[in-house]
Amino acid sequence: MLMYFFLLCALQLVGEAIVFLTGAPIPGPVIGMALLLLILIVKNGVPDGLDQAAGGLLKILSLLFIPAGVGVSLHFNLIAAEWLPISAAVFGATLLTIAFSGLVMKLLDKSS
| pLDDT averages per 10-residue partition of the chain, 112 residues | 92 96 93 94 89 90 87 90 95 97 90 62
Identify the pLDDT of residue 111.
Answer: 66
Identify the pLDDT of residue 35.
Answer: 95
Sorted by where each begins, the domain ranges of the chain are 1-59, 67-112
Give the DSSP H or E segment for 99.
Answer: helix 83-111
Q: What pTM value is reported for the model?
A: 0.62
Measured CA to CA in angstroms, residue 40 lies from 19, 22, 43, 45, 71 at distances of 22, 25, 5, 6, 34
Q: Phi and psi dihedrals of 27, rounded to 5?
A: -60, 145
Residue 39: which residues within 8 A CB-CB, separation 6 or more? 11
User: What is the C-alpha to C-alpha distance for residues 35 and 96, in angstroms, rounded to an integer?
Assistant: 24
Residue 14: which residues within 8 A CB-CB, separation 6 or more? 31, 32, 35
User: What is the C-alpha to C-alpha distance for residues 77 and 72, in angstroms, rounded to an integer?
Assistant: 9
CA 1 to chain centre: 21
Identify the pLDDT of residue 109.
Answer: 87
